[in-house]
Chain A
Amino acid sequence: MSGEVQASTEEQQEMQDTVVSPEKAEEVKLKARYPHLGTRPGGSDLLRKRLQKGQKYFDSGDYNMAKAKMKNKQLPTAAAEKTEITGDHIPTPQDLPQRKQSLVASKLAF
Chain B
Amino acid sequence: MGAGGGGNDVQWCFSQVKGAIDDDVAEADIISTVEFNHSGELLATGDKGGRVVIFQQETENKSQPQCRSEYNVYSTFQSHEPEFDYLKSLEIEEKINKIRWLPQKNAAQFLLSTNDKTIKLWKISERDKRPEGYNLKEEDGRYRDAATITTLRVPVFRPMDLMVEASPRRVFVNGHTYHINSISVNSDNETYLSADDLRINLWHLEITDRSFNVVDIKPANMEELTEVITAAEFHPHQCNTFVYSSSKGTIRLCDMRASALCDKHSKLFEEPEDPSNRSFFSEIISSISDVKFSHNGRYMMTRDYLSVKIWDLNMENRPVETYQVHEYLRSKLCSLYENDCIFDKFECCWNGNDSVVMTGSYNNFFRMLDRSQRRDVTLEASRESCKARQVLKPRRVCAGGKRKKDEISVDSLDFNKKILHTAWHPQENIIAVATTNNLYIFQEKVN
Q: Which residues of B contact A60 (CB under 8 A)?
A: 86, 89
Residues of A near B93 (CB, < 8 A) are 54
Within the complex, which residue of A30, A59, A108 is in contact with B337, where a contact is CB–CB below 8 Å? A30
A83 within 8 A of B: no
Q: Does B226 contact A (CB under 8 A)?
A: yes
Cβ-defined contact, B334 with A30, below 8 A:
yes
In the bound complex, what is the Cα–Cα distance between A41 and B278 (angstroms)?
A: 10
In the complex, how many angstroms separate the beta carbon of A60 from the nearest chain B beta carbon?
Answer: 5
Per-residue interface assignment for chain B, residues 92 to 127, with 1 indicating a CB less than 8 Å from any chain A CB and 0 otherwise: 111000000000000000000000100000000000
Say if the beta carbon of A104 comes within 8 Å of chain B: yes
A105 to B239 CA separation, bound complex (whole angstroms): 38
CB–CB A107/B19 < 8 A: yes
Q: In the complex the two chains form, is A105's CB within 8 Å of B331's CB?
A: no
By CB atoms of chain B within 10 A, which of A30, A54, A101, A108 has the most?
A108
Known: A47-B225, A47-B228, A108-B439. A41 touches B280 (CB 8 A): yes
Please tell me if the beta carbons of B51 and A105 are within 8 angstroms of each other in the complex.
Answer: yes
A104 to B28, alpha carbons, bound, how many Å? Answer: 9
Flag the segment in B77-85, B143-151, B257-265, B318-326 that touches A: B77-85
B177 (CB) vs chain A CBs: closest residue: A51
| Closest chain B residue, CB of each to CB of A101 | B81
Quick one: which of A23, A104, A107, A109 contacts B277, CB cutoff 8 A?
A23
Residues of A contacting B81 with CB < 8 Å?
A: 101-102
What are the residues of chain A within 8 A of B284 when measuring CB–CB? Answer: 41-42, 46
Q: Which residues of B contact A59 (CB under 8 A)?
A: 89
Residues of A within 8 A of B29 (CB): 106-108
Among B42-50, B374-382, B401-409, the one that faces the other chain is B42-50
A109 touches B281 (CB 8 A): no
Cβ–Cβ contact B89 & A56, under 8 A: yes
B20: chain A residues within 8 A (beta carbon): 107, 110
Q: Does A11 contact B (CB under 8 A)?
A: no
* CB-nearest residue of chain B to A37: B280
Minimal beta-carbon separation of B162 from chain A (angstroms)? 16
B280 pairs with A99, CB closer than 8 A: no
Contact of A24 (CB < 8 Å), options: B179, B279, B338: B279
Query: In the complex, how many angstroms separate the beta carbon of B439 from the nearest chain A beta carbon?
Result: 6
Q: Does B392 contact A (CB under 8 A)?
A: no
Contact A99 B82, CB 8 Å, known A26-B281, A41-B279, A51-B228: yes
Contact B89 A109 (CB under 8 A): no
**Number of residues from B at the complex interface, CB < 8 A:** 57
- Kindly supply a per-residue 1/0 record for chain B positions 327-354, scoring 1 wherever the CB is within 8 Å of any chain A CB and 0 otherwise: 0001111100110000000000000000
Q: Which residues of B contact A109 (CB under 8 A)?
A: 53, 73, 76
Given A60-B86, A105-B76, A54 contacting B92 (CB threshold 8 A) = yes
Whether A22 pairs with B330 at a CB distance below 8 angstroms is yes
Shortest distance from the beta carbon of B343 to any chain A beta carbon, whole Å: 8
| Cα of A30 to Cα of B223 in the assembled complex, Å | 25
Give the docked Cα–Cα distance between A55 and B86 (Å).
11
CB proximity to A under 8 Å, residues B189-209: 197-198
- Alpha-carbon gap, A106 to B226, bound state (A): 39
In the complex formed, the residue of A with least CB distance to B55 is A108
On chain B, the residues within 8 Å of A29 by CB distance are 334
The answer to the question of B227 belonging to the interface, with a C-beta cut-off of 8 Å to chain A, is yes
Cβ–Cβ < 8 Å partners of A23 in chain B:
277, 279, 281-282, 330, 333
Contact assessment for A108 and B45 in the assembled complex, using a CB-CB cutoff below 8 Å? yes
Q: Decide: B90 and A55 in contact? CB cutoff 8 A.
A: yes
Say whether B91 faces chain A, with CB atoms less than 8 Å apart: yes
Give Cα A46 to B283, complex, Å.
11
- Does A14 interact with chain B (Cβ within 8 Å)? no
| Contact A106 to B76, CB < 8 A, known contacts A47-B228, A54-B92, A60-B89 | yes
Residues in chain A near residue B247, CB distance under 8 A:
42, 47
Sample of 7 A–B contacts (CB below 8 Å):
A29-B334, A43-B283, A47-B226, A47-B227, A50-B228, A106-B53, A109-B53
Told that A30-B334, A102-B28 touch, could you supply 17 new A-B pairs with CB distance under 8 A? A22-B330, A25-B331, A30-B280, A30-B333, A41-B283, A42-B280, A42-B287, A43-B226, A44-B226, A48-B222, A50-B228, A55-B90, A56-B90, A62-B89, A105-B76, A106-B51, A108-B47
Chain B residues near A (Cβ < 8 Å): 18-20, 28-29, 31, 45, 47, 49-51, 53, 73, 76, 78, 81-82, 84, 86, 88-94, 116, 178-179, 197-198, 222-228, 247, 277-284, 287, 330-334, 337-338, 437, 439
The 3 closest A-B pairs by CB, nearest first: A42-B283, A22-B331, A102-B49
